[in-house]
Amino acid sequence: MRAGSDHERDRRCIIDAAYSCLFEPHTGPIRVSDILRRAGVSSRAFYRHFGSKDDLFLALLQRECDALAARVDRIAERAAGNPSDQLAAWIGELFDLCADPQLRMHVTVIDSDEVRAAAGYRAIRERSHADRERSLVEILARGRVDGSFPLADPELDAVAISAAVGRVLASEVFNDLPGLEKSRARVVGFALRAVGAVDPG
């Protein structure tokens, strides 16, 4: 049991060290030796978990993508409120990433040039978009069925709404939270208009 816990501890230390190294200002590429020094583990421990630095960076990316998909899936699973409330909550969940310093740091890391350069990055990002949007498709389909979203084309609108959120978040000044809230309200308004939202009252 001890060996297994050491094994998992080493993996966590390596991942945490990679986040730190990528997030801190640096010039030139991060070396595996930099990550190992920060993690306090040997190269042998590193290669037990990861075949290369790219594999480590892709593991960071996959971890964040899976966590985000799980967060937005919970909104669709709970189905709290009407479809308009659920749509606003789905968009709000993505905006919450910018308001939380820890989550913001993780997003900054997985969007860094070094992680983007990892072989396999594009394939994971494309899968992650589909994973993230599946819950939005479900919410939009509910609204289409109950008449709340008469203009909704769930598959197409999910892509458009997700892209709109991504564009706004990419251009936001993260320290300007009042501005972030205004942007969130604008995106929610855009999305509701796009699907022809009908006031449930």
Taking only the tens place, the pLDDT of each residue in 112-158 is 889 999 999 999 999 998 999 999 999 999 999 999 999 999 999 99
Q: What's the CATH fold of domain 1-51?
A: Arc Repressor Mutant, subunit A (1.10.10)
* Nearest residue to 121 via CA among 68, 59, 164: 59
Higher pLDDT, 48 or 178: 48
Q: Given this chain, do its domains 1-51 and 64-194 carry the same CATH topology?
A: no
Q: Are 97 and 172 in contact (CB under 8 A)?
A: no
Q: Where are the alpha helices (DSSP H) in 79-153?
A: 83-99, 101-110, 113-116, 121-146
- Tokens 């919410």 identify what position? 139
pLDDT grade for 46, boundaries at 50, 70 and 90? very high
Length of the chain: 201
Classify domain 64-194 by CATH architecture. Answer: Orthogonal Bundle (1.10)
Q: Write down the domain spans for the chain.
A: 1-51, 64-194
CA 149 to CA 194: how far, in whole Å? 9
What's the pLDDT score for residue 82?
A: 94
Burial of 99: CB neighbours in 10 Å, binned 0-12, 13-18, 19+: middle
Taking only the tens place, the pLDDT of each residue in 157-172 is 999 999 999 888 877 6
